[in-house]
């Protein structure tokens, strides 16, 4: 069975479940663990059957619930090494050790946890849940922000004491590294990661292939470079960013610098740029085209839809393209490809 279930898409959180054969992958964990599980239940997906989490990049809307979710399910997380490093630094900004030292510490902690788990056969779940909740990245980031307040500010001694006593907040059940441009497998799903232009350490999009069905996810990219266009061919499903309407962004509420960032070549794809791709470089083969990562401040679903529909209407295979808009606040119904 091949299935693509968008749980959330947008600047408040991104997450999708990709199913192929007997394997289920959570792509990004941008919602809290609790909300991820709630949306999976709404969409008819069972969190307990997930085999792995895979991360596109370290921005908060893609990793917000990562540590808690991976620990709760006891499943591996796939990153590029640079993205993993950026995520660790984001979680532990006060850490005074090299990355190599940190890896060594993780190995030791993993061995200790394994020994503890073997020693105690029951009662682990509750303890793990509480511990994991303590390390919600948002809470950690807020605590870090308080502790990193400028010189002269009142020191927050209690917070510092708690931070020292906590185990490593970036601990995960298992970490697997992949590289953009090097395809690999997770169970029954072949994964092809490709580099995307975005202001993160090592951001990627993915093509997933299972049982002959090809699905691509390309959001969070400032423009459409040739390597991305080359990946988005012969697909059965394409999820493409359609982030903003240019006029709404220019006239909208964002500060000038944020507007420049969104508009830049490492920002986000506009409705027009997405439509240009769909009209000119896209081969028109996907049965489903999902528009994702729509801005709530600088876009309207109808503007994104009209731009994409107009572009797709130039393809002879229009009837084969079913256009779907992903939402921020609710999951899409699962899309079945076989
Ligand atoms: Zn991003
Ligand atoms: Zn994003």
pLDDT digits (tens, 9 = 90+) for 30-56: 999 999 999 999 999 999 999 999 999
State in Å, rounded, how far the first CA of the chain is from the last one: 6
Gap from CA of 120 to ligand 1 centroid (Å)? 40
Give the pLDDT confidence score for residue 109 in this predicted structure.
Answer: 79
Pair 323, 310: CB distance under 8 Å: no
Q: How far is Cα 174 from Cα 77, in angstroms, rounded to an integer?
A: 6
Gap from CA of 14 to ligand 1 centroid (Å)? 10
Q: Tell me: the pLDDT tens digits for 220-261? A: 999 999 999 999 999 999 999 999 999 999 999 999 999 999
Q: How far is Cα 128 from Cα 338, in angstroms, rounded to an integer?
A: 37
Gap from CA of 10 to ligand 1 centroid (Å)? 10
Proximal ligand: closest to the CA of 13? 2
Gap from CA of 59 to ligand 2 centroid (Å)? 6
State the average pLDDT over residues 163-179. Answer: 85
Gap from CA of 29 to ligand 1 centroid (Å)? 13
Gap from CA of 101 to ligand 2 centroid (Å)? 30
Burial class (CB in 10 A: 0-12, 13-18, 19+), 18: buried
**Residue 307: how many CB atoms within 10 A of its CB?**
22
State the average pLDDT over residues 17-42. Answer: 98
> pLDDT at residue 68 above 90?
yes
Gap from CA of 59 to ligand 1 centroid (Å)? 5
**Residue 169: how many CB atoms within 10 A of its CB?**
21
Give the pLDDT confidence score for residue 100 in this predicted structure.
Answer: 82
Record the tokens describing residue 204, joined without a space. 């990627």
Give the pLDDT confidence score for residue 119 in this predicted structure.
Answer: 66
Helix count (H) and strand count (E) of the chain? Answer: 13, 14
Gap from CA of 69 to ligand 1 centroid (Å)? 20
Burial class (CB in 10 A: 0-12, 13-18, 19+), 148: exposed
Proximal ligand: closest to the CA of 11? 2
Give the pLDDT confidence score for residue 108 in this predicted structure.
Answer: 83
Proximal ligand: closest to the CA of 243? 2
Gap from CA of 219 to ligand 2 centroid (Å)? 7
Q: How confident is the model at residue 141 (pLDDT cuts 50, 70, 90)?
A: very low
> pLDDT at residue 157 above 80?
no
Q: How far is Cα 110 from Cα 101, in angstroms, rounded to an integer?
A: 14
Pair 253, 297: CB distance under 8 Å: yes
> pLDDT at residue 163 above 60?
no
What 8-state DSSP symbol labels residue 333?
Answer: P
Give the pLDDT confidence score for residue 120 in this predicted structure.
Answer: 55
State the average pLDDT over residues 125-150. Answer: 36
Proximal ligand: closest to the CA of 62? 2
Burial class (CB in 10 A: 0-12, 13-18, 19+), 266: middle
φ, ψ dihedrals at 5, nearest 5°:
-125, 110
State the average pLDDT over residues 269-282. Answer: 97
Cα 282 from chain centre: 24
**Residue 116: how many CB atoms within 10 A of its CB?**
11
Give the pLDDT confidence score for residue 281 in this predicted structure.
Answer: 94
Q: Tell me: the pLDDT tens digits for 294-335? A: 999 999 999 999 999 999 987 766 556 799 999 999 999 999
Residue the block writes with tokens 């199913």:
19
Q: Is the pTM of this model over 0.75?
A: yes
Side-chain-side CA neighbours of 315 within 13 Å: the count stands at 24
Q: Please give the share of the chain, as a percent, with pLDDT higher than 70.
A: 82
φ, ψ dihedrals at 31, nearest 5°:
-110, 165
Q: How confident is the model at residue 114 (pLDDT cuts 50, 70, 90)?
A: confident
CA-based angle 310:264:31, to the nearest 5? 80
Give the pLDDT confidence score for residue 103 in this predicted structure.
Answer: 82
């Amino acid at each position: 069975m091949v299935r693509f279930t968008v749980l959330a898409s947008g600047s408040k959180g991104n997450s999708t479940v990709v199913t192929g054969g007997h394997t289920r992958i959570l792509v990004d964990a941008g919602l809290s663990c609790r909300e991820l599980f709630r949306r999976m239940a709404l969409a008819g997906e069972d969190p307990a059957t997930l085999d792995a989490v895979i991360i596109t990049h370290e921005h908060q809307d893609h990793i917000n619930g990562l540590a808690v979710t991976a620990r709760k399910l006891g499943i591996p997380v796939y990153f590029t090494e640079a993205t993993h490093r950026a995520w660790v630094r984001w979680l532990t900004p006060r850490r005074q050790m090299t990355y190599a030292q940190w890896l060594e510490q993780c190995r030791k902690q993993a061995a200790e946890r394994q020994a503890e788990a073997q020693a105690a056969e029951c009662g682990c779940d509750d303890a793990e849940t509480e511990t994991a909740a303590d390390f919600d990245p948002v809470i950690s980031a807020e605590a870090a922000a308080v502790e990193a307040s400028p010189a002269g500010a009142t020191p927050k001694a209690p917070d510092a004491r708690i931070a020292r006593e906590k185990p490593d907040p970036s601990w995960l059940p298992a970490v697997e590294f992949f590289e953009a441009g090097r395809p690999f497998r997770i169970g029954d799903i072949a994964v092809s990661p490709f580099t995307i232009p975005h202001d993160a350490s090592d951001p990627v999009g993915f093509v997933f292939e299972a049982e002959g069905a090809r699905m691509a996810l390309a959001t969070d990219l400032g423009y459409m470079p040739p390597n991305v266009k080359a990946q988005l061919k012969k697909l059965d499903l394409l999820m493409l960013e359609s982030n903003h309407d240019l006029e709404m962004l220019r006239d909208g509420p964002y500060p000038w610098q944020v507007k420049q960032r969104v508009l830049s070549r490492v920002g986000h794809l506009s409705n027009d740029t997405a439509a240009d791709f769909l009209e000119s470089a896209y081969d028109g083969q996907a049965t489903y085209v999902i528009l994702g990562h729509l801005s709530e401040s600088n876009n309207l679903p109808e503007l994104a839809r009209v731009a994409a529909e107009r572009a797709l209407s130039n393809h002879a295979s229009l009837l084969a393209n079913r256009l779907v808009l992903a939402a921020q606040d609710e999951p899409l119904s699962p899309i079945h490809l076989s």
